[in-house]
């Protein structure tokens, strides 16, 4: 498992660099983390190569990886080089992917700068990039050496991005801790102590990952909301209706809570509570009826599927999830109809 620290970035970064022996150092940023986050760490870094990529899910591709690998290569990085991923989930997933493939693997450290990366993406070792329009289609399981979390980075994060990350916090409550779901959603996004939220989400996620690092079974519960959510995210990615990861997962969680009721006897009352809570935080997510077939088609590449069956992770109760539930295509369509009817 990674060494995960929540502390002032100056303290944690200096400590990690002191105890890590490396030949070359690179820092991966996008234009936003270059502008807002790099100035908070630059003074504590020894000589390094700064690699900048363009932000956004649409750049989480092989093409961007080629740029990163070219930078390592032209700067003669050897196997004892170290990469620092300074950014959100896109930087962490893709930087990690480039690190483990370069010369069969160099070490990497994550410094999450979005809520989503701090509570979820940068923790647990799922690395990857999108391919042929499918989410995280190429990837590895490999934990970072360290994850250095400091809520200070959230100060410059756009409110829409903070809200996107909050969807994974909601997910953690729904799959593992009913009280956490109640407490975190009680006042919308008006949260005073982000550090406590991050710490508890990381605790929930790391416990699951420790029990099942490579998603043989239990880890699939972390994918609640993602079978339908990823398909929605991919469907709208290159359109003017683009959704952020957490927004698509928020819609996916409503649909999959509906499936939990229909297929597992999850309570109607809890379904309504989840639907109302999520719609209050994400009122503007719209899915069009004419897009349903395209969305369902994308679900056939979900990594949890076996024998071409759409395998879902669903809820038994608020706070308890289960996995490997095969779902019929027509039930998925019903779930999407449930979502759009809620909004009428
Ligand atoms: N590996 C995993 O387990 C896992 C888990 C959840 C999500 N993910 C992946 O994570 C990605 C989403 O991550 P994300 O929401 O962090 O997106 P992101 O990396 O695209 O970051 C969101 C935006 O915020 C900007 N930004 C980042 N930090 C900032 C800061 N401190 N101040 C100002 N702007 C800042 C970025 O430039 C970007 O424009 C998706 O690709 C998703 O599939 C992976
Ligand atoms: O860590 C996990 O496991 C997750 O499923 C966390 C998800 O929030 C995350 O979006 C993950 O990248 C999805 O993985 P995938 O295997 O469905 O691509
Ligand atoms: Zn996710």
Pocket probe for ligand 2: among 60, 223, 312, the residue whose CB has the most ligand atoms within 8 Å is: 223
What would the pLDDT profile of 29-60 be if each residue is shown by its tens digit? Answer: 999 999 999 999 999 999 999 999 999 999 99
What would the pLDDT profile of 167-202 be if each residue is shown by its tens digit? Answer: 999 999 999 999 999 999 998 888 889 999 999 999
Please give the distance, rounded to the nearest whole angstrom, from the Cα atom of residue 74 to the centre of ligand 3.
34
Q: Of 163, 226, 261, 303, which residue is the catalytic one?
A: 226
- Cα separation, 73 vs 85, in Å, equals 18
Please give the distance, rounded to the nearest whole angstrom, from the Cα atom of residue 117 to the centre of ligand 3.
9
What are the tokens at 89? 């989930």
DSSP letter, residue 153: G
DSSP letter, residue 61: S
- In short, whether 126's Cβ falls inside 6 Å of ligand 1 is yes
Q: Are 25 and 84 in contact (CB under 8 A)?
A: yes
Distant-in-sequence, close-in-space partners of 250: CB < 8 Å, separation ≥ 6 = 167, 170, 225, 229, 278, 281, 282, 285
- In short, whether 164's Cβ falls inside 6 Å of ligand 1 is yes
Closest ligand 2 atom, CA of 135?
Answer: 18
Instruction: Give the H/E segment covering residue 202.
Output: helix 194-211
Please tell me the pTM assigned to this model.
Answer: 0.98
Please give the distance, rounded to the nearest whole angstrom, from the Cα atom of residue 223 to the centre of ligand 2.
6
What would the pLDDT profile of 108-167 be if each residue is shown by its tens digit? Answer: 999 999 999 999 999 999 999 999 999 999 999 999 999 999 999 999 999 999 999 999
Q: Whose CA is nearest to atom 15 of ligand 2?
A: 136
Active site residue 187: no
DSSP letter, residue 195: H
Active site residue 104: yes
Domains, the chain, ranges and CATH?
3-156 (3.40.50.1970), 213-343 (1.20.1090.10)
Q: What Cα–Cα distance (Å) separates residue 5 from each residue in 111, 237, 263, 329?
A: 10, 33, 40, 42
**DSSP of 86-127, one letter per residue?**
EESHHHHHHHHHHHHHGGG--EEEEEE-SHHIIIIITSS-EE
- In short, whether 33's Cβ falls inside 6 Å of ligand 1 is yes
Q: Whose CA is nearest to atom 2 of ligand 1?
A: 121
Nearest to 88, CA basis, from 13, 152, 32: 32
What are the tokens at 330? 């027509």
Residue 344 is predicted with a pLDDT of 85
Nearest to 145, CA basis, from 5, 329, 307, 48: 5
Closest ligand 1 atom, CA of 154?
Answer: 31
What would the pLDDT profile of 76-106 be if each residue is shown by its tens digit? Answer: 999 999 999 999 999 999 999 999 999 999 9
């Amino acid at each position: 498992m990674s060494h995960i620290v929540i502390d002032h970035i100056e303290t944690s970064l200096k400590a990690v660099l002191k105890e890590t022996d490396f030949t070359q150092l690179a820092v991966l940023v996008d234009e936003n983390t270059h502008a807002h986050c790099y100035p908070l760490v630059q003074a504590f870094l020894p000589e390094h190569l700064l690699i900048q990529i363009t932000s956004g899910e649409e750049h989480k591709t092989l093409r961007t990886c080629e740029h990163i690998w070219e930078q390592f290569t032209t700067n003669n990085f050897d196997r004892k080089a170290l990469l620092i991923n300074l950014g959100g989930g896109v930087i962490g997933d893709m930087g990690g992917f480039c690190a483990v493939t370069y010369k069969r693997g160099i070490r990497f450290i994550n410094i999450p700068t979005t809520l989503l990366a701090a509570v979820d993406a940068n923790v647990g070792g799922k690395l990857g990039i999108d391919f042929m329009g499918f989410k995280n289609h190429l990837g590895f399981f490999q934990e970072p050496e360290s994850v250095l979390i400091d809520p200070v980075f959230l100060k410059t994060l756009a409110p829409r991005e903070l809200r996107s990350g909050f969807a994974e916090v909601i997910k953690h409550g729904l799959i593992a801790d009913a009280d956490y779901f109640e407490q975190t959603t009680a006042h919308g996004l008006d949260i005073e102590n982000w550090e406590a939220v991050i710490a508890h989400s990381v605790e929930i996620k790391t416990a699951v990952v420790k029990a099942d690092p490579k998603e043989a079974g239990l880890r699939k519960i972390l994918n609640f909301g993602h079978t339908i959510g990823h398909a929605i995210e991919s469907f709208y990615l290159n359109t003017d209706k683009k959704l952020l990861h957490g927004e698509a997962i928020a819609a996916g969680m409503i649909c999959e809570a509906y499936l939990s009721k229909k297929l597992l006897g999850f309570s109607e009352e809890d379904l309504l509570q989840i639907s109302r809570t999520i719609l209050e935080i994400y009122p503007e997510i719209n899915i069009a009826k004419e897009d349903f077939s395209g969305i369902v088609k994308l679900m056939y590449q979900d990594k949890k599927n076996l024998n071409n069956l759409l395998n879902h992770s669903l809820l038994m109760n608020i706070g308890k999830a289960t996995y490997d539930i095969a779902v019929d295509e027509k039930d998925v369509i019903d779930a999407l109809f449930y979502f759009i009817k809620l909004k009428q």
